[in-house]
Amino acid sequence: MKNRRVLVVDDSVFARKNLARIVETFGGQVAGEAGDGMTAITEYDRTNPDIVLMDITMPQMEGIEAAEKIVGQHPEARIVMVSSVGYQENIVAALQRGARHFVQKPVKPEVLYEVIKYVLGEDGAVASAAGAGA
Amino acid sequence: MKMELIQPFINAADAVLAQGLQSPMSIGNLSMEQEAYRRKGVAALVAITGDIEGRIVFDLDPETALRVASHFAGGELPESDDLVRETVCELANQVTGNAVTTLNDQGFHFRVHPPVLHTSEHGPTNTEDTEALVICCETDRGNVFMNIALRYNVQLPGAQTAAAAK
């Protein structure tokens, strides 16, 4: 994932810093940050990242809705949901609405790294919007 | 409040705090709180609505909050730093999120709301059906208190069984 540009979306500054640190540890770049779903959509348009790390529970607009809107406008968008709430309905809803994978908090850096590589197709596989799952 | 509601929070706190602080966590005192909630230091509240309703407050005395946040930040933070409060909110979010994931697997459905900083000295007085349990999580950075007040909003088959067995 060297030099891949990542948009980090989470309403928690603490969580954004943590995710940014993991991304940079593995050679990625933080293209932008957003604290809610609405801002995520505009930041996606502005930064055109390689991949988005998106929280689910956020004020104003939740992550699943934001993911759906981004994928609606950018079908090629690669979005990984990163949330502490990891029950099946949430995961299925996220995948059905355009996310490509799901990682549960607390995030293990090596797990996130493998998921990002997988979604970016850097591990030899290509994650499709409908088929890749947690 | 039934143990089937509490155990997932204990397990989640163990997982989140032990992984985050890279040291074991143990459970100290458990006590029922009859009086109105009284804040100890830096506190974050997460509300839950749905089949189970209520709230969880994470509360750390200021020194513990600073040590915990500094550990996560990878360096010493000033006591007034917003990141100290942010850290407590995110820990509350992660523990609650992991706990409700387990409860969801048991058939309960609900929504977790974003954590909010709890700034007032006192909280609402607990009613009989939302009595609060205070759990002290002992870590090598200090004690993390979870104040849990939850009640069943619907009578699910599992809840009825548990109630009958009580």
Q: Which residue of B has its CA nearest to A91?
A: B101
Q: Looking at residue B148, what is its pLDDT?
A: 94
Residues 6+ positions from A2 with CB-CB distance below 8 Å = A27, A28
Domain A5-119, what architecture? 3-Layer(aba) Sandwich (3.40)
Q: Which long-range contacts (CB under 8 A, 24 or more apart) does B21-28 make?
A: B21/B68, B21/B71, B21/B139, B21/B140, B21/B141, B23/B139, B23/B140, B23/B141, B25/B137, B25/B138, B25/B139, B26/B137, B26/B138, B27/B135, B27/B136, B27/B137, B27/B138, B28/B136, B28/B137, B28/B138, B28/B143
Asked if residue B73 has pLDDT above 90, the reply is no
**Which pair of tokens denotes residue B117?**
């900083």
Is A61 within 8 Å of chain B by CB? no
| Cα angle for residues B67, B68, B70 (degrees, 5° grid) | 65
Chain A partners within 8 Å of B82 (Cβ): 13
Is A47 within 8 Å of chain B by CB? no
Q: Looking at residue A129, what is its pLDDT?
A: 47
Q: Which residue has the higher pLDDT, B129 or B39?
A: B39
Asked if residue B160 has pLDDT above 50, the reply is no
pLDDT digits (tens, 9 = 90+) for B83-134: 999 999 999 999 999 999 999 988 888 889 999 998 877 765 555 556 789 9
Q: Looking at residue A67, what is its pLDDT?
A: 98
> Is the CA virtual torsion A60, B12, A86, A2 positive or negative?
positive
User: What average pLDDT is seen over chain A?
Assistant: 91
Tell me the mean pLDDT in the region A22-33.
Answer: 97
**Is B105 in Cβ contact with A87 (below 8 Å)?**
yes
State how far the Cα of B16 lies from the Cα of A83, in Å rounded to an integer.
13
Among candidate residues B74, B72, B16, the one with its CA nearest the CA of residue A15: B72
What percent of chain B has a predicted confidence (pLDDT) above 70? 85
**Biggest CA-to-CA distance, chain B:** 51
Q: What is the ipTM of this complex?
A: 0.82
Q: Looking at residue A9, what is its pLDDT?
A: 98
Asked if residue B1 has pLDDT above 70, the reply is no
**Which pair of tokens denotes residue A29?**
């770049």
Q: Looking at residue B126, what is its pLDDT?
A: 56
Is B130 within 8 Å of chain A by CB? no
Burial letters B17-41, b for 16+ CB under 10 A, else e: bbebbeeebeeeeeeebeeebebbb
Q: Which residue of B has its CA nearest to A56?
A: B114
Instruction: Record the pTM.
Output: 0.85
Write down the domain spans for chain B.
Answer: 3-154
Who among B82, B83, B104 is closest to A87 (CB)?
B104
Tell me the mean pLDDT in the region A85-101.
Answer: 93
Q: Which residue of B has its CA nearest to A61?
A: B114
pLDDT digits (tens, 9 = 90+) for B131-158: 789 999 999 999 999 999 998 886 655 5
Q: Looking at residue B2, what is its pLDDT?
A: 76
Q: Looking at residue B119, what is its pLDDT?
A: 80
User: What average pLDDT is seen over chain B?
Assistant: 86
Return the axis-axis angle of helices B62-73 and A13-25, rounded to nearest 10°.
30
What band does A10 get if pLDDT is binned at 50, 70 and 90?
A: very high
Q: Looking at residue B155, what is its pLDDT?
A: 60
What band does A124 get if pLDDT is binned at 50, 70 and 90?
A: low
* Of the options 3.40.1550.10, 3.40.50.970, 3.30.70.890, 1.10.10.60, the CATH number for the domain spanning B3-154: 3.40.1550.10
Q: Which of A20-24, A26-30, A39-43, B121-125 has the lowest mean pLDDT?
A: B121-125
Write down the domain spans for chain A.
Answer: 5-119
Instruction: Considering only CA atoms, give the Rg of chain A.
Output: 13
Tell me the mean pLDDT in the region A22-49.
Answer: 97
Q: Looking at residue B121, what is its pLDDT?
A: 74
Return the axis-axis angle of helices B3-21 and B62-73, rounded to nearest 10°.
50
What band does B38 get if pLDDT is binned at 50, 70 and 90?
A: confident
State how far the Cα of A83 lies from the Cα of A102, in Å rounded to an integer.
8
Asked if residue B25 has pLDDT above 60, the reply is yes
